[in-house]
Amino acid sequence: MKKSRAIIGLIVVVLLLAGLGYTAIFGLGSDKSGSLSSIDLGLDLAGGVSITYEVGDNETPSAADMSDTIYKLQQRVDQYSTEAQVYQEGTNRINIEIPGVTDANAILEELGQPGNLYFIAQTDANGEQNYSFGMSAEGGEENFTYGYNLNKTIEELEAEGSIVLKGEDVANAQAGYQNSGTAGNQEPVVELEFTPAGTAAFADATTKAFAAGESIGIYYDGEFISVPTVQAAITDGRAVITGMSGYQEAENLAALIRIGGLKLALTELRSNVVGAQLGSNAIDSGLIAAAVGFVLIVIFMLVIYRILGLAASIALAFYVELMVILLDAFEITLTLPGIAGIILTIGMAVDANVIVFSRIREELARGKVVGEAMKLGYQKALSAILDGNITTVIAAVVLMIGGSGTIKGFAQTLVLGIIVSMFTALLVTRAVSALLYGLGLKNEKFYGKEKALKLFDFFGKRKLFYLISCGVMALGIIVMIVNGARGAGALNWSLDFVGGTSTSVTFDRQWTTEELDQQVVPKIKEVTGVASVQVQTVSGTNQVVFKTTSLDLSKREAMDNMLESDFGVTSDNIAAETISPTIGREMLRAAIISVIIALFLMFIYIAIRFSNYQFSLAAIAALAHDAMMVVVCYALTRISAGGTFIACILTIIGYSINDTIVTFDRIRENMGAAVRNSDIGGIVNKSVSQTLTRSLFTSVTTFFMVLCLVIFGVADIKFFAIPLMIGVIAGTYSSIFIASPLWTDMKLKSAGVQPQQAKKESKPQE
């Protein structure tokens, strides 16, 4: 490449970097689209809307009906934000918190009236019309969308048996596509799935309606939302509604059917705009932490990798700018778990560069010239980068599809981050390094050489490493057992998991979250003995909501007395309600199932790619090790384990598997020269030694980001970052000292080779 072309290329890179930076900070156009300020933030960072519904007619619903209703509402409100929360308040109330929005009335209008969905036969047993098109009637209300009117009251229809199904008989409703009959064309439809009881009832109703050439109207919230003609008797519990003008109409209809498919009829009790749970300083401190962490990574990369480090730093700047723009473009709600996903992908972006750079320096040490070394470095590093990232993407996609709430938001951020990091690491870094090379920076002193490899006997000392891990885990288990026995709980579960008490307090003035954290929260902790207090301010009022783990009567009275004596709040301005966990059993079950499926798919992928199932077993065992280490951290520190607890474990699993796969990739490469099973111990020692600096350097850069959160973050962010930091250390440890030796043990056992013999032949050679 001519120097003039390299100069022009670098100018273009700088201009692109500046342009993307401007877009990321200030956005495009008056709506600030794509800017940092327009990213949707979660309740913890920016607040949102809180809506409380009450079960109608003062009835006391069953626990099963409340649980089912909450789960279905959660699916409904996920359209506004993956970080929306739905939980029970008291015995007959359901609270919905939707981040990133401020217009409660608009949300209420779009959400509709939960419950009251009916499938109505066109005619009754006497052949009289239950509803008609474009005609007024006593019983119904005119629907201006479809023009159908109800000719009788719902009570009359129920009494005569004309209501063939209710919303609770619908198991699921989703928008989709089906072949329209024209070659290559597909039309949008709504796909319905019924419960067993609904299947039988719908089979009878559609058999009658099809024979008479009639329709079955879907009536929701006082109006008809669809009146499809029955085109066949449907007996398998699955139906399709056609005639949609577009996919959006199908999606809207499916959403209405889902929200109407609740067992309980709900009425709105109140709606409020609530402030950020972490306070306004959380965003500022987070940005400071990100900036400092980024600078530390740049300095580290420049010192270690010189010219290549400069190229990687420029690519990392591209990554940050693209992530800001795309987070806004895809309307992904950013919360603490989302920040964890970004931290993980920053580590993976740096890791991809480190893998390549290590390979380049190895080739330089073998005597290759810089240009050829760069080409070979990218070629040899590609498989490790792809395998590590694809394995993590598999897990993230499964979590995104099967998870809900916080887990789905984390997975979305992770998938996006991995794609962007792959682009910047493999394309941008390579292009910039080629331009710098073309500029005349061709001397190998600008790139450095890999030092002579010193082997360490990882395999021979594996029992010591196993013992260290087992000892730490045993300590954690003992602490959990002791804490559980004395009634404190194995872990310090937050109200996300165990529910608690919501205390609404109306002060004589408006308080900021920061003031509450400094003056009120410490006193609440003192008189109640709780470890964590979640604070929400209500916009435009003096009302504040304090959420804690469950408070008994004596603790509630102590809190009331403190508020009255210290802050002048009278008892009639204090109201306490018991609230259910925001992470319900169904959500937790969905998360566990998703994780199991993800691990299974990762197991299959690794086994296929490495043609050896022992690699898969060793990788999964290492992941279990790292997850347990995070749990131990929570147990020993008694940090509150809430929604971020799940995100923390998922982050470490994603981080660890990437690190482990890179080491396994080097083992696979070195195995090509092995002719005897007894050489495996030596191959593992060599492979782990070759990737040791890469593992450490990647851990250092990721550690920088997490450490900055600990130093600069607000209290809740610190408590989230500490277990994450321990997890990074554990993930690095398992990749180096656990995964590969464990694979070796399994491999030797299957080959019938004694570990003692392998140990003798695997001694490090100077």
Burial class (CB in 10 A: 0-12, 13-18, 19+), 450: middle
Instruction: Return the H-helix or E-strand segment holding 85.
Output: strand 85-89
Whole-number Å distance between alpha carbons of 428 and 166: 56
- Tell me: pLDDT of 539 over 50: yes
Higher-pLDDT residue of 5, 273? 5
The CATH class, in words, for 462-476+584-761 is: mainly alpha
How far is 151 from 162, CA to CA, in rounded Å? 12
What is the torsional sign of CA 523, 496, 730, 702?
negative
Collapse the DSSP code of 471 into the 3-class scheme (helix H, G, I; strand E, B; otherwise coil) and give the result.
helix
133-to-73, 129, 149, 152, 244 alpha-carbon distances in Å: 32, 10, 6, 14, 19
Report the top-level CATH class of 117-261.
alpha beta
Residue 268, pLDDT above cutoff 70: yes
User: What span, in angstroms and rounded, lies between the C-alpha atoms of 742 and 734?
Assistant: 10
Kindly list the domain boundaries of the chain, sorted by start residue.
3-25+281-446, 43-114+270-274, 117-261, 462-476+584-761, 500-579
Q: Is 292 left (phi over 0), alpha (psi -120 to 50) or beta?
A: alpha
Report, as an integer, the average pLDDT of 336-343.
70
Higher-confidence position of 630 and 328: 630
Pairwise CA distance, residues 548 & 93, whole Å: 18
- Ramachandran region, residue 405 (left: φ > 0; alpha: ψ -120 to 50; beta: rest): left
- Per-residue pLDDT of 564-623, as tens digits, reads 999 999 988 998 888 877 666 666 777 788 888 888 999 999 999 888 899 999 999 999
- In this predicted structure, the answer to whether residue 766 has a pLDDT above a threshold of 50 is no
The tokens for 174 are 């989703």
Instruction: Report the greatest alpha carbon distance in the chain.
Output: 97
User: Residue 628 pLDDT more than 90?
Assistant: yes
- The pLDDT, as a whole number, for residue 655 is 79
Q: Is 327 exposed, middle or buried (0-12, 13-18, 19+ CB in 10 A)?
A: buried
Picking from 644, 652, 651, 338, the residue whose alpha carbon sits closest to that of residue 495 is 644
Closest alpha carbon to 684 in 455, 466, 465 = 455
DSSP-assigned states of every residue in 400-418:
HHH--THHHHHHHHHHHHH
| Cα 275 to Cα 102: distance, rounded to the nearest angstrom | 10
How confident is the model at residue 503, as a pLDDT? 92
How much is the pLDDT for 337?
67
Residue-level pLDDT at 210: 93
Percentage of the chain with pLDDT > 70?
89
Mean pLDDT of 177-198: 84
Direct distance between the N- and C-terminal alpha carbons of the chain, in angstroms, rounded to an integer: 41
How many whole angstroms separate alpha carbon 75 and alpha carbon 96?
12
Contacts of 725 (CB under 8 A, 6+ apart): 703, 706, 707, 710
Q: Which residue has the tokens 């009634």?
A: 487
DSSP state of 427: I
Beta bridge partners of 180: none
Taking the C-alpha atoms of residue 451 and residue 362, their distance in angstroms, rounded to an integer, is 8
Q: What is the distance of C-alpha 489 from the center of its chain?
A: 26
Q: Does domain 500-579 have CATH number 3.40.50.300?
A: no
Angle between helix 370-402 and 406-423 (nearest 10) = 160
pTM of the model: 0.71
Q: The tokens of 128 are what?
A: 């009289």
**Which residues, other chains included, contact 97 with Cβ-Cβ below 8 Å and sequence gap of 6+?**
43, 48, 49, 50, 51, 84, 85, 86, 274
Half-sphere exposure of 213 (CA within 13 A, CB side): 0
- Sign of the CA dihedral 751, 755, 757, 759? positive
CA–CA separation, 594 and 571 (whole Å)? 46
CATH topology identical between 117-261 and 500-579 = no
What local confidence, expressed as pLDDT, does residue 580 receive? 78
pLDDT score recorded for residue 554: 92
Give the per-residue pLDDT at 340. 67
- Per the prediction, the chain carries an average pLDDT of 84
Helix (H) or strand (E) holding 272: strand 266-274
Fold for the domain defined by 3-25+281-446 = Multidrug efflux transporter AcrB transmembrane fold (1.20.1640)
DSSP bridge pairs for 226: 218
Write out pLDDT tens, residues 469-492: 999 999 999 999 999 998 878 888
Residues 539-551: what's their mean pLDDT? 88
Distance CA 36, CA 324 (A): 6
pLDDT given for residue 142 in this prediction: 39
CATH class label, 43-114+270-274: alpha beta
Average pLDDT (90-98) is 85
Q: Decide: residue 701, CB within 10 A, 0-12 exposed, 13-18 middle, 19+ buried.
A: buried
Residue 8 CA, distance from chain mean position: 41
DSSP 3-state of 102: coil
Decide: residue 498, CB within 10 A, 0-12 exposed, 13-18 middle, 19+ buried. middle
- Would you place residue 162 in the very low, low, confident or very high pLDDT band (cuts 50, 70, 90)? very high
Under 8 Å between Cβ of 688 and 736: yes
Query: Helix 429-438 to helix 281-329 angle, to the nearest 10 degrees?
Result: 90
The torsion defined by the Cα of 484, 490, 495 and 501, in degrees rounded to 10, comes to 20
Which amino acid is located at 721 in the chain? A
Q: What is the pLDDT of residue 489?
A: 84
pLDDT tens column, 165-176: 988 889 888 889
Instruction: Give kind and range of the element (H or E) at residue 660.
Output: helix 643-671
Identify the pLDDT of residue 375. Answer: 92
CB neighbour burial string for 417-435, b if at least 16 within 10 angstroms, e if fewer: bbebbbbbbbebbbbbbbb
pLDDT for the residue 136: 43
Beta strands of 147-265 (E only): which ranges? 148-150, 163-166, 170-179, 186-194, 216-220, 223-226, 238-241
